[in-house]
Amino acid sequence: METTGYGTSPSTPKAPGTLDSALSKASTGAHSAVNTMADAADGAIRKTKPAIDKVASMAHQAVDKAAASAAPAADWIGEKGEQLDATQKRLVNDTCSYISANPLTSIGLAVLAGVVLSRLTRSSS
């Protein structure tokens, strides 16, 4: 079967990360599957080539639309992941600073938390 120019992913700016590469791999895999099915059907039924090409074209368009719809979601998830990573680093730094400034209070809070957790787990067993 001839290549019709389908199978290209939508042109979106690529941010580094595994979400974009996973989206690209999924899109490429779906296009490959459509091509494989179209080739198999084309080899088996030569008389229906125009219908096969039309169905393959529609399938490629559906894959491209799905990839285009998923790209913004992948970008959003990537941005939120970066924000969560920055928040985690800030909280760790703040906690370290607090412990360094208040070592006795920190030890007292840790002991108190341990006692409370111990009581909670003991009473639920």
Decide: 19 and 74 in contact? Cβ < 8 Å: yes
Which residue is listed with tokens 């703040």?
94
By residue range, what is the domain housing residue 67? Answer: 18-124
Q: What is the mean pLDDT of residues 85-102?
A: 95
Cα separation of 9 and 30, whole Å? 11
Residue 1 domain-assigned (yes or no): no
What pLDDT sits at residue 54? 83
Mean pLDDT value of segment 25-45: 75
92, part of any domain: yes
pTM: 0.42
Between the CA of residue 58 and those of 8, 27, 80, 94, what are the distances in Å?
14, 15, 34, 54
Is residue 9 situated within a structural domain?
Answer: no
Q: Is 74 exposed, middle or buried (0-12, 13-18, 19+ CB in 10 A)?
A: buried
Is 10 contained in some domain?
A: no
For residue 118, tell me if it sits in a domain: yes
**Alpha helices (H) in the chain, listed in sequence order:** 18-44, 49-101, 103-124
Residue 3 covered by a domain = no
Share of residues in the chain with pLDDT > 70 (%): 75
Under the banding of pLDDT at 50, 70 and 90, the label for residue 35 is confident
> Is residue 2 situated within a structural domain?
no
- The answer to whether residue 11 sits within a structural domain is no
With 0-12 CB in 10 A as exposed, 13-18 as middle and 19+ as buried, what is 71? buried
Q: How many domains does the chain have?
A: 1
